[in-house]
Amino acid sequence: MAEEPQRAGERGLLRLVGKRPIAVALAVSTVGLLALGGVVFQLLETADRNDAVVARTFTAISRLANLHQTLLEAESIGRAYLFTAEVPYRHGFTTKVAEVEERLREVKEIASDGGHEKALATRLEQQIARRYAYLEDILNIRATRGPEAARAASIGTGAMEMQAISSTLANLKQVQSEFLRARMAERQQSAQAFRLGFAVLLLCGTGILGLLFWEMNRLWLHRVKAQAHAQHLAHHDALTGLPNRRLLEDRLKLQIARAERDGRRFAVLCLDLDGFKAVNDRYGHGAGDEILKQVASRLVAALRAEDTIARLGGDEFALILPRAYTLEQAQLVAYKVIRAISDPYTVADNVAGIGTSVGISEFPSHGSDAETLLERADLALYAAKRAGKGRYVVWDGADFAGRTAG
């Protein structure tokens, strides 16, 4: 008796199918389309979420690169103060340490989602705190007891501390890279499911197929553009579009390999704008950014296409001149750059004047590796600043050793 209602329902369904097969088929197709539409909608939402995760991971990697760059800049300014004991470098170091703390805060925010990331970020914070507390002590020794005492106190510690910081940064980047690979694998699985749904929808109508193809193509192009943009940002300065320090170092290493192979010389120039801070303070950061972009344009116009022009940060730039086979040629380029940058600038209906100082080092007589060439061009730049600005100075080992000792 209990089976009678079930059998009656089955007989009613069979009669409905027999009488109206087209309507039943349409109803089934409609339900199937709705179900497939729901699946496709979920796949699209998953893709958007994955895109957001990928964007977050690229942001984390970019912030780690920014933190590393700011750490290097703070170290450079601290060394400059140890060499010169000039008060502006002391203030600049304090400012950079504050900027390091801000960059570290950004890294901690992005690393707060994972326990391992959070632990690494905390370790990094502790390492940086120890490093800059130690540097503060060294700088105080420099100010009170002189350069020799400061150098004696700093021997054998800086490299290990910076190596530990770099190692933690590398671990954080590795965690982000592994996270990114996992998200890419998930996105690939989503893409496979999407293709399966696409094939089924193809049987249901060309209209739905066209819509899905358009949406998939839009998402794909968006991802390609986002990846290309992230790759560009990783190697170029966001304000001027010039290569950043990372790309500069890569090109410098490549140029060293070519020069060693061909037995040729080339020059490296470091530039720092004279009077830029006063203009920036007077007219505002917007005007300062506009001047930096104009400086970049003038450098591009003044140099050859094969020359590398990079912005190291702030108002510091660096050049690689692969065809400057003699120091005289490099000096001519430096003179040309000084003249080009020294022309007046018009910003927001105001005329502003700045200059530049240039330091020059030469491969291989002044160094055979990228770090040494950049460091010695940077020291020559500081010498040009001390000598009165608006000029260039060529690295001279003996001369500079004497200045450092004095």
Task: Give the pLDDT of residue 212.
Answer: 52
The 10s digit of each residue's pLDDT in 41-91 is 666 666 566 566 556 666 666 666 676 677 777 767 766 766 676 767 767
Q: Among residues 368, 262, 264, 397, which one has the least CA distance to residue 326?
A: 264
d(CA 353, CA 278): 10
Which residues, at least 6 apart from 24, have a Cβ–Cβ distance to it below 8 Å? 16, 17
d(CA 327, CA 366): 11
Q: CA quadruple 277, 283, 289, 295: dihedral positive or negative?
A: negative
The 10s digit of each residue's pLDDT in 112-161 is 555 667 677 777 777 777 776 767 776 777 777 776 766 666 665 566 66
Q: CA quadruple 280, 71, 242, 178: dihedral positive or negative?
A: negative
Q: pLDDT at residue 19 above 70?
A: no
Q: pLDDT at residue 330 above 70?
A: yes
DSSP 303: S
The 10s digit of each residue's pLDDT in 96-105 is 777 777 777 7
Residue with tokens 């002590």: 137
Element (H, E) at 124: helix 115-145
Q: What are 205's two structure tokens?
A: 């109508």
Check: pTM over 0.95? Answer yes or no.
no
Residue with tokens 């203030």: 91
Q: Which residue has the higher pLDDT, 40 or 356?
A: 356
* 271 contacts 316 by C-beta, under 8 angstroms: yes
Task: Give the pLDDT of residue 102.
Answer: 78
Residue with tokens 């914070």: 125
Of 130-134, 292-296, 333-337, the range with the lowest mean pLDDT is 130-134
Q: pLDDT at residue 190 above 90?
A: no
d(CA 28, CA 23): 9
The 10s digit of each residue's pLDDT in 196-245 is 766 666 666 565 555 555 666 776 777 777 676 667 678 899 999 999 99
Domains of the chain, start order: 47-224 (1.20.120), 245-405 (3.30.70.270)
The 10s digit of each residue's pLDDT in 240-287 is 999 999 999 999 999 999 999 999 999 999 999 999 999 999 989 999
Task: Give the pLDDT of residue 368.
Answer: 93
Which residues, at least 6 apart from 383, have a Cβ–Cβ distance to it below 8 Å? 359, 393, 400, 403
pLDDT band at 404 (very low <50, low <70, confident <90, very high): very low
The 10s digit of each residue's pLDDT in 299-308 is 999 999 999 9
